[in-house]
Structure 1
């Protein structure tokens, strides 16, 4: 079911989010770039339902950044995205194959507000999908605006962003000590949560396959998930097809998932609560297919961007990610969003 017609499987993988009011939440993102296949696997773990909705946005949609002195723009590219908490896109792919993922980073400290046009951190994924075709273009776009933290569901969300494109270029954008930090290159293929990426990459050197002697850790701590995903990504065989590439990404992300009802075994997090994986996505940048699986459903669904009408003036459409009756290619099942 990775591709389209007749292979069925269920994707479950984990996106984890750090420490939240002494509560552990989790996010993981893995970019697989091999033999002409570029696939991003991403999962969402959260302590409450995010009421995910799959969205189709055409070109020309007028938007603003949702903060005072807001940036304003019209979408240059159409996209398919997941809307979370009814505040913005947490994940998505555009018609040029650019993929953006929004994950939690507890240490995030945003820049002091200045006179630049602002875009809220809840809207930044959509801003990039609307305006950029490649990672290089996205990094240029993000320097034109200022990302501003806002409240959603009663609290602020410190976040970081990962990007990839059709050719497998990759970047991670973080805000550390009040400054924007951009990592750009193959070392950004894996992203989890705290600590920031520099720490994660340095910690990786302690483990087998990366120069160290430590065995792979098995808990759900963000650093442990980063090590596992990195090790399996490095040792995966070269795929013979897109289907195999998708299967490998699924297998890797599954190793960092949090099953429904599982207990937290991490010694680094003092919490009796465990936040389950809510949903998983796979983005096939080469073939422009976007997969979605809700963890409480056995069904995989996907959107074929090549079949979507992204023309200016086309309708914004949505499809509930909580509908367990849907399966397979749902490109034609989206409903026009009521104004």
Structure 2
């Protein structure tokens, strides 16, 4: 592992191919090779309140499902080349599965949160001799084994995430993680090297270009020392700026409810309504990917909220009401059930395995 300076700050580098973690489910991705305007993630950090807001934007329905996994589950990295890493889940988690393929978002019982977003410029390393975890499994691997950002980064230094094909190609992604202390990191793969942005600079993540470019670009705008006004279009750079600006200017919340409302409000400023067109000059950017759903992960109080874009109702899981003990069943509920509202742990149904 080594370090490198990006935009005047030191970031950790390591020779890893934590290759794009993800199946179409985790994505916010498309089938062509052009950049994609998809998904946003915001970490709202104020005092004791640590809330992650995330939007999923996709060009087709992803048939989201909320899935609860217990401790003690045996997992395999499922790589096709080299040795697969095997592990047993140490922590239970509440996740979102998309397209019936894998985990795209989630929180575990320790308040550790992980999210996957698209990054077109991702470039991974070739397979090496480390035990591998496929890109379809990486998010669940982190949720199963990590209580903190520090632990997750240590795990990624020991286990190689291997990019596996889905729908005939590999998918470029970056990863955001945070924990109950408010620590945060964004993990990207640029020119074959894993770049870790660790700390407050990683509180916002959208899509291309990579985070280093986004952090430099924001200096042009009024909220960050520049002279330009905030853009209102939907491309990733504009969404990054709006989320960063509103996060910067939001007052301290009075309580948990206030913190959740503020995080949700910022997420709505970067959501993409159906029918929206990208009016920016970002050449090649996909412009017809609406927001399908939004999640709020409260690492402080261990709540996980979900709202489908087509429903006015928001529902949530109170993790304190879930039995995560080894041997407990895997539970789920459809994110497309628009009758759901409020706390729904009693409505989770055992999955057939």
Match of 2:42 among 19, 22, 30: 30
Residues 138-149 of structure 1 aligned to structure 2 (within 5 Å): 138-149=152-163
Is structure 2 residue 277 aligned with structure 1 residue 263? yes
- 2:191 aligned partner: 177
Match of 2:298 among 279, 284, 298: 284
Q: Distance in 2 between matches of 1:109 and 1:60?
A: 34
Q: Distance in 2 between matches of 1:174 and 1:22?
A: 18
- Contact kept? 2:122, 2:188, Cα under 8 Å: yes
- Contact kept? 2:278, 2:287, Cα under 8 Å: yes
- 1:3 aligned partner: none
- Contact kept? 2:204, 2:244, Cα under 8 Å: yes
Distance change >3 Å, CA 31–CA 94, structure 1 → 2: same
Is structure 2 residue 127 aligned with structure 1 residue 113? yes
Residues 79-110 of structure 1 show CA distances to partners (whole Å, capped at 9, x for unaligned) of 00001222211100000000000010001111
Match of 1:40 among 52, 63, 66: 52
Secondary structure at the aligned position of 1:125 is classed as: helix
Residues 259-338 of structure 1 aligned to structure 2 (within 5 Å): 259-270=273-284, 273-338=287-352
Deviation at 1:154, TM superposition (A): 4.1
Distance change >3 Å, CA 98–CA 65, structure 1 → 2: same
Residues 155-206 of structure 1 show CA distances to partners (whole Å, capped at 9, x for unaligned) of 3221110010001000011111111111111110000111111111111111
Secondary structure at the aligned position of 2:217 is classed as: helix
Residues 58-137 of structure 1 aligned to structure 2 (within 5 Å): 58-68=70-80, 69-137=83-151
Secondary structure at the aligned position of 1:152 is classed as: coil
Paired residues, number: 325
Residues 246-289 of structure 1 show CA distances to partners (whole Å, capped at 9, x for unaligned) of 11111111111100222332321446851110110000001100
Q: Which runs of 5+ in 1 are unaligned?
A: 1-14
Distance change >3 Å, CA 335–CA 16, structure 1 → 2: closer
Secondary structure at the aligned position of 2:153 is classed as: helix
Deviates more, 1:270-279 or 1:80-89: 270-279
- Contact kept? 1:18, 1:26, Cα under 8 Å: no
- 2:16 aligned partner: none
Q: Distance in 2 between matches of 1:271 and 1:143?
A: 33
Q: Distance in 2 between matches of 1:159 and 1:49?
A: 19
Deviation at 1:53, TM superposition (A): 0.9
Q: Which runs of 5+ in 2 are unaligned?
A: 1-26
Structure 1 runs of 4+ aligned residues shifted over 4 Å read: 15-20, 270-273
- Contact kept? 1:58, 1:77, Cα under 8 Å: yes
Q: How well do the aligned residues superpose, as a CA RMSD in angstroms? A: 1.7
Secondary structure at the aligned position of 1:205 is classed as: helix
Secondary structure at the aligned position of 1:24 is classed as: coil
Match of 1:241 among 245, 255, 261: 255
Q: Distance in 2 between matches of 1:90 and 1:204?
A: 27
- Contact kept? 1:108, 1:177, Cα under 8 Å: yes
- Contact kept? 1:16, 1:192, Cα under 8 Å: no
Residues 158-197 of structure 1 aligned to structure 2 (within 5 Å): 158-197=172-211
